Amino acid sequence: MNKKNGFLDILDEELSKNFNYDYEINWDKKNHGIIVSFVLEVENLDNIEVEDTDGVSSTEDLLYEDAVLFYNPSKTQFNDKDYLATIPYDEQGLSREFLEFFSLFLQDTVDDGLSDLMDFLESEEKEFSISWDWDKFNAGDDTLEDTEFFKYPRY
């Protein structure tokens, strides 16, 4: 493992083990942020017309993309509404235990989201989004015993 890449490598390692959806990690060096984006695909067997956030209608299979941002509270500029969740990191970085917990929590959240997305196709609902349960996330985070921390990557 390359210490230079800090928690970036550990994040990828934990997602590879615990998250079974397509994902991508982007390192926004200038903005001191790390973005984990993922895609869900759902078959639209009944060719139901769905309009995306850009106002484009389609009866094709649904692709839903969302992202989580890891950010530096004093340096990163962002809009909360652009992300499923925004998670701060400090000078100490993030622990392996936290990143493992995050990847498992993201898996559960996206599993629920995929189920909700399939239900959405058969409902009269007008909008769909996945929800991040901050109470549950924070409660789980509070039980962690962090041992080894990995700093924000260097370049």
β 94-95/149-150 pair status: antiparallel
Q: What is the distance between the alpha carbons of residues 155 and 147, in angstroms, rounded to a whole number?
A: 25
pLDDT at 71: 98
**Residue 80 near residue 62, CB atoms below 8 Å:** no
Structural domains of the chain, with CATH: 3-150 (3.40.50.11250)
Helix (H, G, I), strand (E, B) or coil at 42: strand
Percent helix, strand, coil in the chain (nearest 5)?
Answer: 35, 25, 40
pLDDT at 1: 45
pLDDT at 127: 87
Q: What is the distance between the alpha carbons of residues 33 and 40, in angstroms, rounded to a whole number?
A: 23
Which residue from 39, 20, 29 is spatially nearest to 117, judged by alpha carbons?
A: 39
User: Which parts of the chain register pLDDT below 70?
Assistant: 1-5, 155
pLDDT at 2: 44
